[in-house]
Structure 1
Amino acid sequence: MTITHPQGFEAAGIAAGIKRTGALDLALVVNRGPAQQAAAVFTSNRAQANPIIWSRQVAADGIVSAIVLNSGGANCFTGPEGFQVTHRTAEAAASGLGVAAGDVLVCSTGLIGDQLDGEVLEEGVVSAIARLSSDDGGGDDAARAIMTTDTTPKQVVVVGDGWSIGGMAKGAGMLAPGLATMLVVVTTDAALSAADLDSALRAATRVTFDRLDSDGCMSTNDQVTLLASGASDVAPEPTEFAAALTEACRSLAMQLQADAEGASHDIAIEVVGAVTEDDAVEVGRSVARNNLFKAAIFGNDPNWGRVLAAIGTTSAPFDPYLVDVSMNGVRVCHAGRPDAPRDDVDLTPRATHVLIELHAGEASATIFTNDLTHDYVHENSAYAS
Structure 2
Amino acid sequence: MSVTPPPAPAAPDAAQLDAAQPADQGVTAPAGFEAAGVAVGLKSTGKPDVAVVVNRGPLKVAAAVFTSNRAKANPILWSQQVIADGVAEAIVLNSGGANCFTGSFGFQTTHQTAERAAELLGVGPGDILVCSTGLIGSGDETFRAKVLDGTAQAIAALSPDSGPDAAHAIMTTDTVAKTVTIHGDGWTIGAMAKGAGMLAPGLATMLVVITTDAVLTAAQADAHLRAATRVSFDRLDSDGCMSTNDQVTLLVSGASGVTPDAAAFGAALTEVCTALAVKLQGDAEGASHDITIEVVNAASEDDAVEVGRSVARNNLFKAAIFGNDPNWGRVLAAIGTTHAAFDPYEVDVTFNGVRLCSAGAPDRPREEVDLTPRATSVVIDLKAGDAAATIFTNDLTHDYVHENSAYSS
TM-score, structure 2 normalization: 0.93
Q: Distance in 2 between matches of 1:90 and 1:102?
A: 8
Tell me how far 1:21 sits from its aligned partner: 2.2
Tell me how far 1:17 sits from its aligned partner: 1.7
Match of residue 175, structure 1, among 191, 199, 202: 199
Q: Distance in 2 between matches of 1:150 and 1:252?
A: 13
Tell me how far 1:240 sits from its aligned partner: 1.3
Match of residue 32, structure 1, among 56, 79, 98: 56
Match of residue 186, structure 2, among 162, 172, 189: 162
Q: Distance in 2 between matches of 1:197 and 1:300?
A: 43
Secondary structure of the corresponding residue to residue 3 of structure 1: helix
Counterpart of 2:132 in structure 1 is: 108
1:319 partnered with 2:343: yes
Q: Distance in 2 between matches of 1:151 and 1:123?
A: 26
Match of residue 118, structure 1, among 126, 136, 144: 144
Tell me how far 1:20 sits from its aligned partner: 2.3
Q: Distance in 2 between matches of 1:362 and 1:354?
A: 18
Secondary structure of the corresponding residue to residue 13 of structure 1: strand
Q: Distance in 1 between matches of 2:43 and 2:326?
A: 42
Q: Following superposition of structure 1 onto structure 2, how do residues 145-294 of structure 1 map, counting pairs within 5 Å?
A: 145-294=169-318
- Give the ranges of 4+ consecutive aligned residues of structure 1 lying more than 4 Å apart after TM superposition: none
Q: Distance in 1 between matches of 2:215 and 2:267?
A: 16
Secondary structure of the corresponding residue to residue 28 of structure 2: coil
Tell me how far 1:28 sits from its aligned partner: 0.2
Secondary structure of the corresponding residue to residue 51 of structure 1: helix
Secondary structure of the corresponding residue to residue 376 of structure 2: strand
The amino acid across from 2:380 in the alignment is I
Counterpart of 1:340 in structure 2 is: 364
1:96-126, Cα deviation, whole Å (9 max, x unpaired): 0001100000000000000152222111111
Counterpart of 2:112 in structure 1 is: 88
Q: Distance in 2 between matches of 1:81 and 1:384?
A: 21
Q: Distance in 2 between matches of 1:252 and 1:146?
A: 14
The amino acid across from 2:260 in the alignment is P
The amino acid across from 1:314 in the alignment is T
Q: Distance in 1 between matches of 2:248 and 2:194?
A: 11
How many residues in Structure 1 have an aligned counterpart in Structure 2? Answer: 383
Tell me how far 1:238 sits from its aligned partner: 1.6
Q: Distance in 2 between matches of 1:146 and 1:202?
A: 23
Q: Distance in 2 between matches of 1:56 and 1:270?
A: 33
1:166-221, Cα deviation, whole Å (9 max, x unpaired): 00000000000000020000000001101001010000000000000000000000
Counterpart of 1:127 in structure 2 is: 153
The amino acid across from 1:287 in the alignment is V
TM-score, structure 1 normalization: 0.99
Counterpart of 2:20 in structure 1 is: none
Unmatched tracts of structure 2, length 5 or more: 1-23
1:13 partnered with 2:37: yes
Tell me how far 1:338 sits from its aligned partner: 0.7
Tell me how far 1:89 sits from its aligned partner: 0.4
1:246-300, Cα deviation, whole Å (9 max, x unpaired): 1111111111000000101000000011110000000000000000000000000
Q: Distance in 1 between matches of 2:243 and 2:103?
A: 18
RMSD: 0.6
